[in-house]
């Protein structure tokens, strides 16, 4: 019942307003004007007269209905999250019980055998590695594009390019997957071979091949997919930088890049973090494009160019068709792990934004 005083406070202000309009009545012509907006709110009209009492707060009205509606919407989020968690756990537990190997450390995925064996380690590793790599490639490029569009490009060109970038976000991931698997794989294979020849002494570029359908291909395709999200969100944030702050920097003798560093980037920091996290969310959950471009092997390896790699989501897409009951339970357990990873990522992002709250709030 913490909301009761709040509601009565509303009623109080409403009452004062009515009373003051009542006092204005003797002013003649203004009386009609003063009354009409009031009477649309309280059709009964009692208490509107010069000496009458205040109108009573209504027991039920649009105000309360709207409050109820928003409360229901807010609650729905919690209910849905709880329902997902319950579903995942209920399905996963029996399969985890049937597992004859350690779920965390076993490198392999054969849950359909009579003695089910499956481990999440390789998949979780592949998921995190490919996403991290994708962000490493996409974020600098995306921020560069966003800054160019918001602060360097002529306005018309900026708008047109921004539209194209948004269009890139609308390409279905299966199309990216097909393109990556059949076309993009060729230059990546050549580049991998070149890397292997000259930089093979670095473990991540080592190995004897075959190259191509590797973590590198998957990450590059992922990077292209998250690029438009990060770009268009950061562009919006950069455009919102107050002109007053940009001019303050310029008036201190900043070059354009110095102005961006002094005024634009710090102001946009929480927005950039949010954009990157959204991109990471997409990368972590991306399924079909990775199922098509990765080599699908089970084994933890930092090698980026050899055929191989797998992620939780890609594995679910690939293995769900042939899975039996335990197999499905095992896949759902892996989904639960993915859910947890995403949750941790989001909480971390929140924490980063929260830490600088004092500064970002006064910015708003």
Partner 1 sequence: MAKRIDASNVTAYYGAFKAIEDINLTVEPKTVTALIGPSGCGKSTFLRSINRMHEVLPGARVEGDLTIDGQNIYDRDVDVTAVRRMIGMVFQRPNPFPTMSIFENVVAGLRLNGLRKKSILDEAAERALRSANLWDEVKDRLGKPGAGLSGGQQQRLCIARTIAVEPQVVLMDEPCSALDPISTLAIEDLMFQLKDKFTIIIVTHNMQQAARVSDRTAFFSIEKTGDPGRLIEYDNTQKIFSNPSQKKTEDYITGRFG
250 binds partner 1 (CB under 8 A): yes
- How many CB atoms sit inside 10 A of residue 283's CB? 28
248 binds partner 1 (CB under 8 A): yes
Stretch that binds partner 1, among 111-119, 173-181, 195-203, 256-264 (CB under 8 A): 256-264
Stretch that binds partner 1, among 18-26, 206-214, 254-262, 331-339 (CB under 8 A): 254-262
Of the candidate residues 159, 240, 255, 348, the single one contacting partner 1 (CB under 8 A): 255
Q: Which is nearer to partner 1, 158 or 210 (CB)?
A: 158
Q: Are 177 and 221 in contact (CB under 8 A)?
A: yes
Q: How far is the CB of 352 from partner 1 (least distance, A)?
A: 14
| Main-chain dihedrals φ then ψ at residue 214, nearest 5 degrees | -120, 175
Of the candidate residues 92, 230, 263, 330, the single one contacting partner 1 (CB under 8 A): 263
Q: Are 246 and 264 in contact (CB under 8 A)?
A: yes
C-alpha to C-alpha distance for 83 and 130, rounded to whole angstroms? 29
Q: In the stretch 204-243, what mask flags binding to partner 1 with x, by CB under 8 A? A: --------------------------------------x-
Of the candidate residues 42, 112, 346, 360, the single one contacting partner 1 (CB under 8 A): 360
Q: How far is the CB of 178 from partner 1 (least distance, A)?
A: 43
Q: Which is nearer to partner 1, 37 or 242 (CB)?
A: 242
71 binds partner 1 (CB under 8 A): no
Q: How far is the CB of 363 from partner 1 (least distance, A)?
A: 4
Q: Which is nearer to partner 1, 58 or 356 (CB)?
A: 356
- Cα–Cα distance list, 37 to 43, 54, 166 (Å): 11, 16, 44
Of the candidate residues 5, 74, 253, 321, the single one contacting partner 1 (CB under 8 A): 253
Torsion of CA 35, 41, 45, 51, to 10 degrees: -60
> Is the previous residue joined to 210 through a cis bond, with omega within 30 degrees of 0?
yes
- Cα–Cα distance list, 354 to 74, 167, 210, 242, 264 (Å): 22, 32, 46, 22, 19
Residue 292 corresponds to which tokens in the numbers above?
């098509």
Of the candidate residues 258, 302, 340, 344, the single one contacting partner 1 (CB under 8 A): 258
| Main-chain dihedrals φ then ψ at residue 109, nearest 5 degrees | -145, 85
Q: In the stretch 122-161, what mask flags binding to partner 1 with x, by CB under 8 A? A: ---------------------------------x------
DSSP 274-341: HHHHHHHHHHHH--HHHHHHS----S----SSBB----HHHHHHHHTTT--HHHHHHHHHHHHHHHHH
Q: In the stretch 330-359, what mask flags binding to partner 1 with x, by CB under 8 A? A: --------------------------x-xx
Q: Are 147 and 264 in contact (CB under 8 A)?
A: yes
With the C-alpha atoms ordered 258, 263, 269, 275, is the resulting torsion angle positive or negative? negative
Stretch that binds partner 1, among 82-90, 258-266, 290-298, 344-352 (CB under 8 A): 258-266
Of the candidate residues 141, 179, 204, 269, the single one contacting partner 1 (CB under 8 A): 269
With the C-alpha atoms ordered 342, 344, 347, 348, is the resulting torsion angle positive or negative? negative
Interacting residues toward partner 1 by CB under 8 A = 155, 242, 244-245, 247-255, 258, 262-263, 266-267, 269, 356, 358-360, 362-363
């Amino acid at each position: 019942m913490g909301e009761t005083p709040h509601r009565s406070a509303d009623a109080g202000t409403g009452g004062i307003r009515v009373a003051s309009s009542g006092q204005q009545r003797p002013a003649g012509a203004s009386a009609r004007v003063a009354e009409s907006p009031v009477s649309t709110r309280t059709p009964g009209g009692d208490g509107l007269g010069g000496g009458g009492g205040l109108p009573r707060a209504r027991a039920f009205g649009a105000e309360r209905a709207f409050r109820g509606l928003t409360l229901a919407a807010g609650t729905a989020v919690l209910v849905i999250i709880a329902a997902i968690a319950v579903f995942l756990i209920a399905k996963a537990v029996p399969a985890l019980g049937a597992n004859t190997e350690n779920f965390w450390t076993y490198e392999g995925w054969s849950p359909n055998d009579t003695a089910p064996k499956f481990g999440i380690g390789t998949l979780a590793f592949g998921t995190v590695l490919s996403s991290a790599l994708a962000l490493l490639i996409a974020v600098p490029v995306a921020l560069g594009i966003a800054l160019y569009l918001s602060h360097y490009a002529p306005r018309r060109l900026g708008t047109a390019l921004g539209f194209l970038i948004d269009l890139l976000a609308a390409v279905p991931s299966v199309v990216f997957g097909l393109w990556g698997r059949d076309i993009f794989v060729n230059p990546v294979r050549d580049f991998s071979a070149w890397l292997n020849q000259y930089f093979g002494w670095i473990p991540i570029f080592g190995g004897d091949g075959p190259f191509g359908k590797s973590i590198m291909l998957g990450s590059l395709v992922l990077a292209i997919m998250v690029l438009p999200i990060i770009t268009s969100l950061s562009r919006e944030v950069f455009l919102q930088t107050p002109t007053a702050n940009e001019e303050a920097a310029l008036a201190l003798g900043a070059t354009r890049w110095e102005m961006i560093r002094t005024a634009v980037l710090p102001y946009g920091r929480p927005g950039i973090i949010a954009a990157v996290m959204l991109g990471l969310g997409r990368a972590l959950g991306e399924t079909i494009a990775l199922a098509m471009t990765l080599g699908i092997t089970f084994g933890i390896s930092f090698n980026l160019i050899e055929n191989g790699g797998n992620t939780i989501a890609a594995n679910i897409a690939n293995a769900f068709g042939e899975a039996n009951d335990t197999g499905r339970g095992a896949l759902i357990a892996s989904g639960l792990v993915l859910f947890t990873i995403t949750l941790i990522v989001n909480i971390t992002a929140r924490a980063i934004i929260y830490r600088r709250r004092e500064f970002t709030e006064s910015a708003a």
